[in-house]
Amino acid sequence: MASKFDRIVWQVISEADLVIEVLDARIPLESRCRRIEQVVERKGKPLILVINKSDLVPRQVMEEWRKIFSREHPTIYISARDRLGTRRLWQVIKRNAPKLPVKVAVVGYPNVGKSSIINILKGRHSLGTSPIPGFTKHKQLVKASRMIHVIDTPGVFPSPKKEPEIAVISALRPESLDDPVIPALKLLEIALRKSTLSIEETYKIEVDTDDPYTILTKIAERRGLLLKDGKLNIDEAARILIRDWQSGRLVFYFTPSDYGLSPGAKKEISEKSN
């Protein structure tokens, strides 16, 4: 039996003429959703990969990812927050639209910036909304312009089940996690490999160990996070860490070379993503 997610995604993609999948520039491979892409492929709809949050990653790295992903689908990178590359977004939509006006669906994991991109496409001068037959009242067709209509579907995303996935792709708000320590430790484990400096600068602590739990303890101490019995509030330190990663305050990122990929090689990348 198909899950609720699969039914909604199938419905949204069936309604769309073109699909945009939004990725996180810091973790572009991990933030790809193969389940979404498989539905798009089955429905025969064009797919555009939009790598968001490019302001957090060096441009050279973004160019490398763009070249690699472009071997599979049209790909651009933007910063929705800083409104960088948004003109290219409009251009690539029109270039790949099977017809005009085109209905565009924006999908992807939480916290990758779907809402920001939908808002960019809608703009201040959107021409109004209309309900889509068969959809709930929360899903509407927004006429962003005479040429581009956006299916506004804020809840279309898969929910990963493994805690490491939750940590890396930021799929859940830290307040909703029963045990935030495990995903926080996973994040710290990666951060210690990628950039100890980012940890030191963000939390004003000295990183003199490769033990994630010790680092989390230092963060709790530095912030003065205490429970009623005077013990360190490690859970709250974990939530702060996850929140800082989601907001872009704690910054580290993955490059193609981290996966043995290079822009010039023809190595298959699909098996390396979700």
Report percent pLDDT > 70 for the chain.
80
Starting at the edge strand found earlier in the chain, the sheet holding 18-24 runs 75-77, 47-52, 18-24, 102-107, 148-152, 140-143, 129-131
pTM: 0.85
C-alpha 59/C-alpha 54 separation (Å) is 7
Look at domain 4-159 and name its CATH class: alpha beta
The DSSP 8-state label assigned to residue 129 in this structure reads: E
Parallel/antiparallel/unpaired status of strands 129-131 and 148-152: unpaired
Contacts of 137 (CB under 8 A, 6+ apart): 131
Contacts of 18 (CB under 8 A, 6+ apart): 45, 46, 47, 48, 93, 96, 97, 98, 102, 103, 104, 105
State pLDDT tens for residues 36-89.
Answer: 899 899 999 999 999 999 999 999 999 999 999 999 999 999 998 888 888 899
- CATH 3.30.200.20 given to domain 163-247: no
- Average pLDDT value for the chain: 84
State pLDDT tens for residues 209-254.
Answer: 999 999 999 999 999 999 999 999 999 999 999 999 988 899 999 9
Any idea where the domains of the chain sit in the sequence?
Answer: 4-159, 163-247
